[in-house]
Amino acid sequence: MKKYINKRYNKKIMQKYQFQLNIPPDQVERIYSYKIRRIQVETRQGLLLEFPAIKLIKFVTDHGIHGSFEMTVYEDGSDINRI
């Protein structure tokens, strides 16, 4: 895979992973209370991806966390965005 530069942040993009989430409100409550600390998802590429649950807080609605997401991995960390 080619390495791309994210010009906005001047970071080298190492990898991108897309996945779907359907987390109901009661499970979101467990993320807030730190009873769920890590999330495991299967990516559209068929890989198992694990990351800190706290990264999903910005996507919480009254109905939970739902939608398609993309994790971009950089040399020094990662970001998750809704797609």
* Predicted pLDDT of residue 6: 53
For the chain, the domain total comes to 1
Structural domain includes residue 46: yes
Q: Tell me whether residue 22 is in a domain.
A: yes
CA distances from 22 to 26, 28, 63, 80 (A): 12, 10, 10, 15
Written as tens digits, the pLDDT of the chain (83 aa) is 455 555 555 678 789 999 999 999 999 999 888 899 999 999 999 999 999 999 999 999 999 999 999 999 988 888 999 99
Which range of residues forms the domain containing residue 38?
Answer: 4-61+71-78
- Cα end-to-end span (Å), the chain: 21
Q: What pTM value is reported for the model?
A: 0.80
* Residue 28 within a domain: yes
Determine, yes or no, domain membership for 11. yes
Q: What is the rounded distance in angstroms from the CA atom of residue 9 to the CA atom of residue 18?
A: 20
Task: Determine, yes or no, domain membership for 66.
Answer: no
The pLDDT of residue 10: 66
